[in-house]
Chains A and B, each alone.
Chain A
Amino acid sequence: MEQVAADILTVTLRVKRFNPAVDRKPHWQVFTVEGMEPTDRVLDVLHQAKWHQDGSLSFRRSCAHGVCGSDAMVINGANGLACQVLLSATGPDVTVEAIRGLPVVKDLVVDMQPFFAQYRSVLPWLVAEGDPGYTERRQSPEQRARFDDTTKCILCAACTTSCPVFWPNGSYVGPAAIVQAHRFIFDSRDEGTADRLEVLSDRSGVWRCRTAFNCTNACPRGIRVTEAIQEVKRTILSDRV
């Protein structure tokens, strides 16, 4: 489609940079990126800056359309995926920094290991011991729908790193891990609920959640994260009764 001049944007991109080899503290760098269009992604702006101005700018990305979970970052103050936020939403002034609460390794790249350790802590796999034989386990469409929402998670960490409880307390298991647990707890085929609930009712588990809803707002997959956490809380309570 022909672009009229008014649709061409000059973007002012502010990036919080940190290079452990030379910097003691992070600092801001401003890029002016010309020739962008409102339908371009923040990721496109980052690429233009990196590819044509300063190749030392580091950020993770792969799929470029919101399915791999590589590029969660703070964009104009809110967590999102750089490949899913368009300039039509941000306008020509774009500020990006690394997601909060995980150690920054370089620029927009954080150490994801603590996040994946939390993921592993909830036993993220189907626990089902019986042998169903040479056929599928049966599950009705209604049973399947029960946990559909939480199967969408791409482990991008946007939720966990938007959580005000997680920021000061990295031991909190965090919304993403609870979403993963939810995906199995509400799967009719799963038999691991007791073990998962034990992990999640622990001091660093679901009770830390203060229903701030930041996670739900941050989730690029539109998962009702807070609701999933509430459902897990209710299950723990009803189990204890």
Chain B
Amino acid sequence: MALALISTQVGAPGTLDPVHVHHHRYDAVIVGAGGAGLRAAIEVAGTCRAAVLSKLHPTRSHTGAAQGGMCAALANVEEDSSEWHTFDTIKGGDYLVDQTAARVMCAEAVDAVIELEHFGLPFNRTTDGRIDQRRFGGHTRNHGQAPVRRACYSADRTGHMILQTLYQQCVKRGVTFFDELMALDVVLDDGRVAGVVAYELATGDLHVFATKALLFATGGFGKVFKVTSNAHALTGDGPGLLFRRGIPLQDMEFFQFHPTGIYKLGILLSEAARGEGGVLRNAQGERFMERYAPTVKDLAPRDLVSRAMLTEIREGRGLGPDADFLHLDLTHLPPDQIDAKLPDIADFVRTYQGLEPKIDLIPIQPTAHYAMGGIPTNLDAEVVIDAAGTTVPGLYAAGECACVSVHGANRLGTNSLLDIVVFGRRGGRAMAAFVADASQPDLPADAGGDVRRRIEALKASSGGERVAVVRHQLQEHMMLEASVFRTEESLTKVAGHLGELRARYGDAVIDDKGAVFNYDLTEALELGYLLDLAETLVVSARARTESRGAHFRDDHPSRDDANWMRHTLAHREADGSVRLSYKPVDGGLYEPMERKY
């Protein structure tokens, strides 16, 4: 049924200005070259004709910004087990996690880390030369007894080293890259993948790729919020363009706010800062997390810490003239520990705040960080479109844009780098197997027609507002009305604003009508996706009248397992509205219990 929506609209040829269109034929195409896309590429390299397209040069991907670590129960420094890791992941996700997926991820974590080491990743080492490990929020020994050292890391640039290492392995294998190509549409034909349409930044040309298999790894969409740790490029293009072609999006109401963003800028200061012993303090200098999470304190999961922080601020214990920030205190850490383990974030504090973290308290506030929701997938990273697990042959997704769902309602720190490597690899492997037997699909004649029309319409528009103004207002409203605390009232308000912003977006103008590196145009296209995703987030959040993980409703402050132990699926209807359906959570390993830390 959902498949009926998935048809390619063919435009009337000859009605538009000529655009150069290049045609390509591949077995497998990967969209996105962050950790997930590159790991998938390594898996398909050499097995079939494969290509990777990315709107950024691969090494610019936001995986490179990840700091703290990647968890795996190596037990290199203390006793640990992947079963404990699985439990922590499920509990951390407030039981909305699909438990088989979590078990698979945590079991494969050890292998994934060892493989990265073999690929050359320069992990920090123990004195006996093994991969060193440190503490991270929500990761515990023996089902919550005490924090455990599980995060493998490379100083505070673990993501940088993962991205570099995976890219190096792709270069070694001669992977075909199309750098600075932006995917704008998927071509689905008769219920299966037929191709993908992309816009080349350097020339303005369109590229139509016919392909048997297509994997999306386009990362997150933190740019729907005003204060975020996410890069400018994280605009959710992959989920956005699939959504428009009838693919539902899962659990979009769950968006993680990380406790320690640099005040106003949102730049992340890794949880590793607290893993290494840093603490949070309010205006009275009190280590307030002792009141909220007596056992693990500052190392409680992010949703709890972010809410505790905003509660402190609401109750008047914030700092500054607007009493709207708190402090991260690293001053008691040995200075050489900061130099050795947290050099980059110390530099961020120096550069952007003019403070010395060894001496000064650091002003911080929660920052929009991670999308738990996204394109629904199964264990092989195949996209699934309904509660029955129906797949779209040839269509895959992995990494932050996907939702398998190993993070449930709240992701644990270090589990995303793990997710991208484990499910990138699984997706690549599944894709390679699929294309070996699949036939080459036929592309409709004017596969790029819709994209061409969208671009022409933006270039032709005149008289409306600037894209930046509309985007700014979107980000402000989402931050105010749909972030850490939500109510029926705030969500109704923001839903209204979204409708209005959407209309204004329809008339928005761009200055640049040119073909070469026209970021004015691409920002406008990106805003279209942001608006769509914001709407799925708000509609999903409004319906969920409970509080779970990162989704907190002041008007429904408890978890309601009887009614809401289920995943949300948001579907785009023919009239452009969003319809919700639900699918069960894959439970079975652990019974839901109250989440205390």
Contact = CB atoms under 8 A, between A and B. Distances in A.
Interface of A: 1-2, 19-21, 39, 50-52, 54-56, 58-70, 84, 86, 88, 105-107, 109, 112, 116, 120, 123-126, 128, 132, 134-141, 143-144, 147-148, 151-152, 154-155, 184, 187, 189-190, 222
Contacts of A20: 516
B466 interface: yes
A7 B354 CA distance: 15
Nearest to B110: A134
Range of interface residues on B (Cβ < 8 Å) = 35 or more
Interface string B351-362: 111100000000
B124 to A, nearest CB: 7
Contacts of B297: none
Contacts of A105: 202, 516-517
Given A67-B64, A68-B62, A62 B169 contact: no
Given A39-B352, A55-B466, A56-B520, A68 B120 contact: no
A68 B60 contact: yes
A189 B120 CA distance: 8
Secondary structure at the A interface, as helix, strand, loop or mixed, is loop
Contacts of B120: 125-126, 128, 184, 187, 189-190
Interface in B288-313: none
B231 interface: yes
Of B321, B467, B517, most buried by chain A (CB within 10 Å of CB) is B517
A1 B468 CA distance: 25
A120 B64 CA distance: 19
B597 interface: no
A2 B231 contact: no
Interface in B124-142: 124-131
Contacts of B61: 68
B157 interface: yes
B125 A139 contact: yes
Contact of A62 (B60, B202, B348, B468): B60
A123 B60 CA distance: 20
Interface of B: 56-57, 59-62, 64-65, 111, 113-114, 117-120, 122-131, 154-155, 157, 160-161, 164, 168-169, 171-172, 202, 231-233, 265, 267, 320-321, 344, 347-348, 351-354, 466-468, 510-512, 514-520
Given A61-B232, A143-B129, 9 more contacts: A55-B512, A55-B520, A56-B514, A62-B232, A63-B231, A70-B60, A125-B169, A138-B130, A144-B122
A136 B128 CA distance: 12
B321 A140 contact: no
Contact of A67 (B65, B130, B171, B516): B65
Contact of B56 (A70, A132, A151, A154): A70
Given A2-B321, A19-B514, A64 B231 contact: yes
B129 A140 contact: yes
A65 B510 contact: no
B171 A124 contact: yes
Given A65-B348, A65-B352, A147-B122, A58 B231 contact: no
A62 B122 contact: no
Given A19-B516, A21-B514, A55-B510, A132 B348 contact: no
A39 B354 contact: yes
Nearest to A116: B57
Contacts of A2: 321
Counting from the closest, the 5 A-B pairs by CB-CB distance are A126-B120, A55-B511, A51-B468, A138-B129, A55-B520
A63 B65 contact: yes
Given A68-B64, A70-B56, A128-B120, A86 B351 contact: yes
A5 to B, nearest CB: 15
